[in-house]
Amino acid sequence: MSELADQFHSLSTLLQRHHGDWQRLPFACRTLPWPELAPVLSTLSEDDLDALEAEPAAAHGLLAPYRSEVAAVHDWPIPTLKRASDYATPRWSSGIPGRKWAQISDFAANIHGHHPILEWCAGKGHLGRLLALQQQQAVTSLEWSADLCRQGKALAERLQIEHHFYCADALAPEAAGLFRREQQAVALHACGELHLRFLQHGVRAGTRSLTLSPCCYHLITGQHYQPLSTAGRRAGLSLSRHDLRLPLQQQVTGGERVRRLRQIELTWRLAFDELQRTLTGNDAYLPLPTFPKQLLSGDFAAFARWACERKGLAVPAQIDDAHWLALADERRLLVKRIELVRHLYRHPLELWLLLDRALFLEEQGYRVTLGTFTDMANTPRRYLLQAHKPTAAP
């Protein structure tokens, strides 16, 4: 059994044992679900909770006496992979934000090969363009947006590089035909089902090198995650889309405006939940879908009317903002206390998902490394899977 397989087994056991901590809907809770944690959690003010959310290491230290084996996972060593030698921006990179350029540069620093390159879910092809210039290899970039393909093609022609765009849906069956054996396939922050298809297509084609930074694990076609590896399927861990969102509940690049909008959204969702329980007579949580953030620029009454219409509820003639918002204020602290515990599992769950992908590749004969390719300040989605197919002996 490989070291990655050992880690995966340990994580599977841990996540199963503590599933009552992290497989929970905080909005559905009316009381704190862990009596043993009440003494420490009930003393935390909202300012304390916000500070701990901003400093995960402090939160881990606070909860470590109660969940020592979970907190210990955060100390598991994960290799730091190569970084770019500098982050000077070439003229053609104008318009790429600084953090995004750092991610692209650091990702490219880990690509070393002598085969043509396939860039999966490419956007304008910034990564592919950099690799074409650095490695002097032909690059094919797959992107579904015709407009982005046109812009990328124009940039490639201006630089006179061999960079071609294939405009198609990565989820369409014909996308599999882009993968070749003697090829380097790369995917920077491909979401959910898109990066699962990337791995599956690459494995079927026997592609020599696969390099992936996954993102948005919850964007899958089914309601529950289907593990890729044999070990993952044997683990018996049932993961809903809600569960798969957990690793993404960490923001390191948001400013004060983003934090303020999050606070408003949390309060208004809770206030609507109080309202709908009264309207329906059903004391159960009614989830709302993701919605445009401009809804938060008005008042709560307008938001509540939109939510009622979305959920097919009769819209009250009068909505007492102050009453429902006051009830939400009481529940907001409870939600934040529950999420403080759930967030202890962000890293263990993401590591489990990464290792499922790594073991899938190992099972197909690849040599796999897992590490971080860029700094946390650039993005929390900084994990890189690199898989290489050994050259067959003559």
Task: Give the separation between CA 234 and CA 232, rounded to whole angstroms.
Answer: 5
Using the 8-state DSSP alphabet, how is residue 393 labeled?
Answer: P
72-81 average pLDDT score: 96
Cβ 149 vs Cβ 143: under 8 Å:
yes
Task: Give the separation between CA 304 and CA 325, rounded to whole angstroms.
Answer: 11
Report pTM: 0.93
Q: What's the confidence (pLDDT) of residue 256? A: 75
Could you report the per-residue pLDDT of 214-271, keeping only the tens digit for each? 999 999 999 999 999 999 999 999 999 999 999 998 755 456 777 788 899 999 999 9
Any idea where the domains of the chain sit in the sequence? 25-66+253-344, 91-248+345-388
Could you report the per-residue pLDDT of 349-386, keeping only the tens digit for each? 999 999 999 999 999 999 999 999 999 999 999 999 99
- Assigned CATH topology for domain 91-248+345-388: Rossmann fold (3.40.50)
Task: Give the separation between CA 182 and CA 298, rounded to whole angstroms.
Answer: 55
Longest dimension (CA), the chain: 80
Phi, psi of 312 (to 5 degrees): 70, 30
Nearest Cα neighbor of 175 from 151, 140, 146 is: 140
Could you report the per-residue pLDDT of 93-110, keeping only the tens digit for each? 888 999 999 999 999 999
Could you report the per-residue pLDDT of 122-157, keeping only the tens digit for each? 999 999 999 999 999 999 999 999 999 999 999 999
Tokens of 106: 């650091």
